[in-house]
Homo-oligomer: A and B are copies of this chain.
Amino acid sequence: MPRSKDESTRTLILKACRRLLEAGPGQAVRMSDVAKAAGVSRQAVYLHFPKRADLLVETARHIDAEEDVDARLAPSRAAKDGLSRLDLYIEAWGNYIPVVMPTARALIAMSDTDEDARAAWDNRMAAMRHGCEAAVRALKNDGRLTPELEADRATDLLWSLLSVDHWDNLVGRCGWSQPDYIAQIQRLARAALVKPAPQARTPRITSL
C-alpha cells in the first residue's frame, strides 16, 4: 500500500497539510495548496480524503499521534491529589493547545457549514471535557471543591477556561507568553473551583 519509499502518500499529504496550517495564520489552505505542498496531484488528495473536512479531521488525528497526546496527559491521570491533578491537567492540555491550534481553527471554521467537521470537533471537545470532569471529581473526593459549585457546573467552567478560544484570546491576541498563560489559568481555576484547605487541627493563619 505504500507508494514506494518509507512514507506513504497519505502521510505525505497529512504532513503537508499540517505544515501549511501551521505556516500561515490567516492562510486559506485550499485542497490545491495541500496537493502542491505534498508534491502530488489535487486528485490524489481527493483519493485519500474525499472531503476537505476529512482531510482536516485526519490531520488532527495525525497530530495527536505524532505528538503523543496520551503521553502528555498521563501525568495528570497519575496525580495523587485533586489539586495537583487540576494543575497537571491544565498544564498538559494548555501546552497542547498551541500544537493543535492551527488545525483546530480550520476545523472550527468548517463546522459552520460542514456537519462532519462539527461532529469531529465536538467529539474532541467532549474528550477534553472528560479530563476536566475527572479533575473536578478528584477535587471533590478530596473535599476541596468549592461549595458554591455543583460538580457539573465546575466541569463546564473549567472546560470553558481551557477552550482554545480562551487560549487564543490571551496568548494570540493579548500576547501572553505560554508559561504566563498556564500559570494564570491555574490560578484562575483554583480561585474559581477550589475551596481553601481545611486547616486541620491547628488553626493557624497560613498565607498559602
Point out residues on A near B: beta carbons under 8 Å. 26, 28, 105, 109, 112-113, 148, 153, 156-157, 159-160, 163, 165-166, 169-170, 174, 176, 184, 187-188, 191-192
Contacts and interface: CB of A to CB of B under 8 A. Distances in A.
Given A109-B109, A188-B192, A160 B166 contact: yes
A184 B157 contact: yes
Contact of A191 (B156, B169, B191): B191
8 contacts: A105-B112, A156-B170, A156-B174, A156-B176, A159-B169, A160-B169, A163-B166, A188-B191
B113 A157 contact: no
Nearest to A165: B165
Nearest to A164: B165
A112 B109 contact: yes
A189 to B, nearest CB: 10
A17 to B, nearest CB: 17
A179 B148 CA distance: 15
Nearest to A118: B26
A96 to B, nearest CB: 18
A126 to B, nearest CB: 10
Contacts of A112: 26, 105, 109
Contacts of A192: 187-188, 191-192
B174 A28 contact: no
A163 B165 contact: yes
